[in-house]
Amino acid sequence: MALLELHGVSKVFSHGMGRVTVAVDNVTLEVGESEIVSLLGESGSGKTTIARMVLRILRPTKGRILYRGRDIWRLGRRETLWYYTQVQGVFQDPYSSFNPIHVVERPLLQALSRLKGVRGEEALRRVREVLRRIGLSPSEVLGKYPHQLSGGQLQRVSIARALLVEPRLLVADEPVSMLDASTRIDVLNIFAEMRDELGTSILLIGHDVSLAYYVSDRVVVLYRGGVMEEGDVSKVLDEPAHPYTRMLLDSIPRLDSRWRGRLRLHEPLHAIGRSGCLFADRCELRFNKCAARPRLVEYNGRRVACWLYQ
Amino acid sequence: MLRVEDLRVYYKTLSGYVRAVDGVTFTLSKGEILGIAGESGSGKSTLVNYIILPKPPMVRIAGSIVYRGIDLTSITPGELSKIRYTGISIVPQYAMDALSPTKRIRAIIRDLTRGRAEGDIEEKARERLRMVGLPGDVLDRYPIELSGGMRQRVVLVISTLLDPDVLIADEVTSALDVTMQRAVLEMLASFRDTGIVRSIILVSHDIAALYQVADRIMIMYAGKISEIGPAEEVIGDPLHPYTRALIDSVPRLGVRYKTRRLTGLKGEPPRLASPPTGCRFHPRCSVAEERCRAREPPPARVGKRTVYCWLYTGG
């Protein structure tokens, strides 16, 4: 049994007067034990909505989310507390994750007290130990307010908070996109160490393909709420099958080569339907079949939702 | 086109000066795209904003900015505003989110070009919008009706409507998706290629994005230049230890933790209210020596590059 399973999960937001936005559209995916799975997508792909549903911040409109086989939206009070000892989150903007009027260790001590029942000297000892483990010296962090730390330091404190709970699954939503390039890699290294040394699984949400490539075992490529392609990094990113995955890979700026030719940006201005392939309007290879929605099918070691492979 | 000489721009605070730009010298040639890269707090935004939008609490301590034989630091704000937009145009960071929400794009253009433009500016705007893949009826839209990528292209079209000599673009791609990022950068290059603007200064924290379109790249650290030179040389064979560390910390496609572990830069950038003595990078530099701590490195020429590091001074 996988650690986390999403079965046909959708999230629809309604704006009144019958208008709706389909943010997540029938997504099925799994996260296994001690693996890093990246959800890759641009804005509007539904990646953050998925993270929020897994963290029980948003309730899915349809479908089920199972943690160790149990529906996370059918947990009682005590089970919910247990769920948060197992699953923790790290968010994009560390400055908005911390209360500016409290010292930064406060939420760390609270997490220990509420979820682990650890208080007093022992709690402080653990906080110091975790801070050291992620490359912060306790003396430069303890007793400080959020604005006194750099974004990189504060984000590491927020990871420390999650680590203290010793979760089995960490949901990290764009954890490094606000950090400077030179400090991003350290955070990814911490994630890889958590996986390798503690067996933690990580659902890593992001838009940076190279970062996902660096640290993930598997990737799920999302577009407009749907899964386009999913599988091992070596398959999906080294030999991309879906036209969208290919376009994404062609667009990223690289340090070892410059772009060749011009990107043909096809952006429809009219409202786009959701009945067919979600990428059809921007796809150069579309043909008559694309008016219907393709299913995710096995193709050469990965799963892809494209009529070219059905 | 533009020559900046020993520019020092500080921020005045209650507890003293913050030395955000501290002795920066470079030239921008006709027809070139100069990329300025640096991390947060490196002074890159302060530098380019001061060129054409100087305002308190920025204070110029020393240096000059010469454009077409005029020292921009010695003219009145009124004279500077005549050059702004027609001679040197700037797209500040977050400009795409600063468009007035109650005005249609047409009205925004009319307000900006009033008294400055000749001929049918609306027709010109329509043609330029078409050039960047936007329909002319964008003019009738409110900013909120456009996506981020559309707004950013509208802002860049508006900023270059009067065909300025120099376009300064500060972090114009950082809030965009990768496909749109590429489209916007290619659009800027085409502005230069078709002569809409002569030269471009492109500021970004993303060196890989700069590398795609820049002819030369300047790397800034803690208010100073580390290295400046042709893009292929700076990226392909970085000389300054900071440039090297920066480039090494960016994962490339194909590099995986399991086979090749990368490391980030240790430590934090210095506080610019009280920067370290000598080379500002020395506390984090793996090859720092005694002289790096004691004295500031003079500029060293290496081929077409200028490097501010004692390793290359030949002494």
In order of start, what are the domains of chain A with their CATH numbers?
4-216 (3.40.50.300), 240-253+265-310 (no CATH)
Residues 77-96 of B with CB under 8 A from A: none
User: What's the pLDDT at A141?
Assistant: 93
Under 8 Å between Cβ of B309 and B297: yes
CB neighbour list of residue A190: distance below 8 Å, 6 or more residues apart: A134, A135, A156, A159
CB contact under 8 A, A258 and B211: yes
Most A CBs within 10 Å: which of B130, B177, B271, as the mutation test of the A interface?
A: B177
Torsion angle, CA of A282/A287/A292/A298, rounded to 10 degrees?
A: -90
Q: For B91-115, how does the pLDDT look when each residue is reduced to its tens digit (9 = 90+)?
A: 999 888 899 999 999 999 999 888 7
Tell me the residue type at B141. R
Q: What is the DSSP string of chain A?
A: --SEEEEEEEEEEE-STT-EEEEEEEEEEEE-TT-EEEEE--TTSSHHHHHHHHTTSS--SEEEEEETTEEGGG--HHHHHHHHHHEEEE-S-HHHHS-TTS-TTHHHHHHIIIII---HHHHHHHHHHHHHHTT--HHHHTT--GGGS-HHHHHHHHHHHHHHT--SEEEEESTTTTS-HHHHHHHHHHHHHIIIII--EEEEEES-HHHHHHH-SEEEEEETTEEEEEEEHHHHTTS--SHHHHHHHHHS--SS----S--------SPPPSSS-TTGGG-TT--GGGGSPPPPEEETTEEE--GGG-
Which member of B182, B206, B257 has the closest CB to residue A263? B182
CB contact under 8 A, B182 and A259: yes
* Average pLDDT along chain A: 92
Which member of A183, A185, A213 has the closest CB to residue B253? A213
Contacts of B272 in chain A (CB under 8 A): none
User: What's the pLDDT at B132?
Assistant: 87
User: What's the pLDDT at B315?
Assistant: 61
CB contact under 8 A, B251 and A213: yes
Q: For A250-301, how does the pLDDT look when each residue is reduced to its tens digit (9 = 90+)?
A: 888 999 888 887 776 666 555 567 889 999 988 889 999 999 999 999 999 9
Pick the CATH number of B2-312 from 3.40.50.300, 1.10.1040.10, 3.30.160.100, 3.30.1540.20: 3.40.50.300
CB contact under 8 A, A213 and B245: no
Shortest Cα–Cα distance, A115 to chain B (Å): 32
User: What's the pLDDT at B309?
Assistant: 97
CB contact under 8 A, A186 and B246: no
The interface predicted TM-score (ipTM) is 0.85
Q: What is the pTM of this model?
A: 0.90
Which member of A186, A265, A269 has the closest CB to residue B179? A265
Q: Is B114 on the interface with A (CB under 8 A)?
A: no
CB contact under 8 A, B211 and A255: yes
Structure tokens at B198: 């002569």
Q: For A143-188, how does the pLDDT look when each residue is reduced to its tens digit (9 = 90+)?
A: 999 999 988 889 999 999 999 999 999 999 999 988 888 888 989 9
* Average pLDDT along chain B: 93
Rounded mean pLDDT, B270-295: 94
> Regarding predicted confidence, which is higher, B75 or B315?
B75
Task: Choose the most confident range, by mean pLDDT, from A281-290, B22-31, B267-276.
Answer: B22-31
Phi-psi region of A34 (alpha: psi -120 to 50; beta: other; left: phi over 0): left
Can you give the residue ranges of every domain in chain B? Answer: 2-312
Residue A229 has pLDDT above 90, yes or no: yes
User: What's the pLDDT at B40?
Assistant: 86
- Report the distance separating Cα B107 and Cα B93, nearest Å: 22
Q: Is B103 on the interface with A (CB under 8 A)?
A: no
Rounded mean pLDDT, B117-124: 85
Q: Which residue of B has its CA nearest to A149?
A: B268
Q: Is B271 on the interface with A (CB under 8 A)?
A: no
Q: Which residue of A has its CA nearest to B268?
A: A150
Contacts of A233 in chain B (CB under 8 A): 256
Rounded mean pLDDT, B77-82: 94
User: What's the pLDDT at A19?
Assistant: 87
User: What's the pLDDT at B89?
Assistant: 96
User: What's the pLDDT at A182?
Assistant: 81
Residue B248 has pLDDT above 60, yes or no: yes
Chain A to chain B Cβ contacts (< 8 Å)? 121
Residue B253 has pLDDT above 90, yes or no: no
Contacts of A180 in chain B (CB under 8 A): 39-40, 205
